[in-house]
Amino acid sequence: MNRETILHPTRRSLLAGGAAALTAATLPRFVQAQSSEPIRLGFQLHRTGIGAAYGRWYERTALAALKVVNEAGGIAGRPVEILFEDDATDPRRGAEGVEKLASQAKVDMIFGPLFSHVVIAAAPRAAELKIPYLVCSEGYHVASGKLNRWTLQPGITDVRAQVTAMAPWVTQNLGKKVTMIFPDYAFGHDHRDFFTEAVAAQGGEVVAQIAIPPTETSFTRYFPRIPRDTEVLYHVMVGPAVLTFVKELGEFYGSGAKPEIFGFIDSLEAVDIANPGLQFLEGSHFWEGQCRMLQPDASEAETFYRDAVGVDANGAAIEDPKNVSCYGHMFSVWETLFAIKQGMEACSWRGPQDRQAFVEAVEAFTEMPAGRERPQGAKVFNPKLHQVFGHQFISKLEGGKLVKVHETSLEDGIYPSDVDYLATSF
C-alpha cells in the first residue's frame, strides 16, 4: 500500500463542512484574530453499523452548527473545520478513530459519539492522548465516574437524571404499578435500576421487569409476562425491531383494556410516527429529549435551530418528509459544538497546548442559559460529574402528533453522587 495515501487522507479533509469556502480573505470577520489558522475538530461518527440511523442526523446537525458558528466569526475569530471519522458503531474501531483523529489528523479535540460502548472503549485512549473528548451519549457512564478527566458531556442529560426527573410525573399521572420492558444489556439495565429506584421513591412499584434478549426480532411471546394489574407499561426498546415491538403489542391488546403506555422516544427515533401499525400508540406518552414536533410555545432559538438543520414541523427532513430525524437526541451535537466554542474562548485557545486549560474552562461552567447555543433549553453543568443536567419533556401522541404535556424542572433530575472528576489527575 502506498504510504502517501495513508499519511495524507485528502478526501477526508474535504468533508470539513463549509470550512473550505471560509477563507480569511473572503470573510473579513476573521481578520482580527491573532491566527487565522482553522480550528480542527474531530467527529466520531456512527456512519455505519447499528448506529447509522443516528449517525446520518448527527452529521447533518454538526454541519449545520458548524455553518452557524463560522458565519458568526468562528471560534475566537478563527474558522472551524470538522473531520468526520466513521467508527462503524464498534468499540475497537471507535478507539482507533480517536487515535486517527488525534495523532494523524491532528485535530484539536474530538466530539460526537452516541453509543455508550464506543464511548467507554474510546475514552481511555482519549485520556492517554490527552485530548478533550466531548461525548453526546446519554448513558450513565460519564456521570457514574467510570471515565476520566478528559471525557465530558456538556450537551445531553444522562439517563439516570432523565428517568429520575420523569418518575414523579409517571406515578402521579399514569399509575403506580409499572411493568418495564427493556433490552437486556447495559442501556436497558440503567433504565431498570434507576427507574425502579425512582418509582419506589414516589411510593410506586415496579411489578415486573421484562428483559428482552438483544437481537430479538419478535416480542409477542414475552407479553404474557406483563402482570394483569399493571397500570403503566414502560418501554425503552431500541434498534430496528422497535416497530415490530409496537405492532405486536397492539395486536396483543387489541381494542380491549390495556395499561397506560410510557415509552422513550429512543424507540422511535428516525421512525415516522404515522407508519402503519403504530396507531396503537395513539394516546400513549413519550419521553423526548427535545420535542420532535414543533410546539406552539417553541422558542425563537428552537425554530432557528430547526431551520438551520433543515427539519420541518413534524421532525422530518425538509426535502423529504419521510426522512424522520433523531430530534430527541441530536440537539446534543449542536449544543456540544457551542460548548466547545464557549470553552475554547474562555481559555483563550491557541492550540493543542491549551487542551488541559480547555477542560478546566469547561469545568468552570455552571449555569448554561437557553438561547441559540442551547435550543433544547437551559442547563446546569456539574463539574464534578462532568455532566450536564437539562429539562426533559413528556409528550402525548394525539391524532398522530406528539404534543408536549409536561416539562420537568432542572431540579427534578438531580440525584446524589459522590463522583468527583476534579479530584482525578489529567
Partner 1 sequence: MRMLALHLAVLAGVAALQFVLPAYHHTNAARILVLATYAIGFNIAFGYTGLLSLGHALFFAGGMYATGLLVDQGGWQPWAALLAGPAAGGVLAAGVGLLALRTAGPAFMIVTLMFAQAFHLAILYWGRFTGGDEGFTLSGAARRLGPFDLADPATRYGAAFLLFAAAMLGCLALVRSRTGRVLIAVRENEERTRMLGYDPFRAKLLALVLSGLLSGAAGATYGLMFGYVGGSFAAIQYSILPLIWVLLGGAGTVLGPLLGTALLFYLIDWASSVTTASQFVVGAVLILLVLFAPRGLLGLLRERGLRSLP
Partner 2 sequence: MDFGPFLLLAVMEGLVGAAVLALTASGLSLVFGVLRVVNVAHGEFFMLGAVAAWFVSQWVPGPPALAFAVALVACPLLVAGLAALADRLVLKRLAYEPEATIIATIGLLYILQQAALTLYGPEARPVPPPFEARLQLPWFGWSGYKLFVIGAAGAVLAGLWLLLARSRIGLVMRATQIDRETATAFGIDVDRVYAGTFALGAALAAIAAVLIVPIQQAHYLMGGDPLLLSFIVVVIGGLGSLRGTLVAALLIGVSDGVISTFFEPTLAKILATLLVALVLVFRPQGLFGARA
Residue among 1 and 423 whose Cβ is closer to partner 1: 1
Calculate the CA 194 to chain-centre distance: 19
Q: What residue 50 binds from partner 1, partner 2, none (CB within 5 to 8 A, per partner kind)? A: partner 2
**Which three cell numbers mark 104?**
494523524
Q: Which is nearer to partner 1, 56 or 306 (CB)?
A: 56
Q: Which of 26, 72, 136 is nearest to 308 (CA)?
A: 72
Which residues, in sequence order, are CB contacts of 210 under 8 Å at separation 6+? 179, 180, 181, 182, 222, 225, 226
Q: Which of 144, 146, 154, 113 is nearest to 127 (CA)?
A: 146
399 binds, among partner 1, partner 2, none (CB under 5 to 8 A by kind): none
Residues 123, 97: contact at Cβ < 8 Å?
no
CB of 407 to partner 1, least distance (A): 30
Region of 119 (left: φ > 0; alpha: ψ -120 to 50; beta: rest) is alpha
95 counts as binding partner 1 under rule CB under 8 A: yes
What does the per-residue mask of binding to partner 1 show for 109-148, with x meaning CB under 8 A? -------xx--xx-xxx--x----------x-x----xxx
- Sites of contact with partner 2 (CB under 8 A): 48-50, 52-53, 55-56, 184, 210-218, 220-224, 228, 239-244, 247-248, 251-254, 256, 270-271, 275-277, 323-324
Give the Cα separation of 313 and 321 in Å (integer). Answer: 10
Q: Could you say which residues in the range 209-238 bind partner 1, by CB under 8 A? A: 213-214
Closest separation in Å from C-beta 278 to partner 2 = 8
Q: How far apart are CA 168 and CA 11, in angstroms?
A: 51
Q: Is 303 near partner 1 (CB under 8 A)?
A: no
Task: Tell me if 257 contacts partner 1 by CB under 8 A.
Answer: no
* Contact yes or no for 339/154 (Cβ under 8 A): yes
Region at 195 (left for phi over 0; alpha for psi -120 to 50; beta for the rest) = alpha
Buried b (16+ CB within 10 A) or exposed e, 400-411: ebbebeebbebe
270 binds, among partner 1, partner 2, none (CB under 5 to 8 A by kind): partner 2
Least Å from the CB of residue 127 to partner 1: 8
Q: For partner 1, give the closer residue by CB, 90 or 335.
A: 90
What does the alpha-carbon distance between residue 422 and residue 426 come to, in Å, rounded to a whole number? 9
Least separation in angstroms between CB 54 and partner 2: 8
DSSP bridge partners of 152? 134
In the list 29, 67, 99, 352, the residue contacting partner 1 (rule: CB under 8 A) is 99
Q: Which three cell numbers stand for residue 131?
A: 485530548
- Measured from the CB atom, the residue of 184 and 407 that comes closer to partner 2 is 184
Smallest separation, CB 239 to partner 1 (Å) = 12
Cell 431500541 locates to 238
The listed partner (partner 1, partner 2, none) that binds 9, CB under 5 to 8 Å by sort, is partner 1
- The answer to whether residue 350 forms part of the interface with partner 1 (CB under 8 A) is no
The item of partner 1, partner 2, none sharing an interface with residue 25, based on CB under 5 to 8 Å by kind, is none
The footprint of partner 1 (CB under 8 A) covers 1, 5-7, 9, 11-12, 47-48, 85-86, 90-92, 95-96, 99-100, 103-104, 116-117, 120-121, 123-125, 128, 139, 141, 146-148, 184-187, 189, 213-214
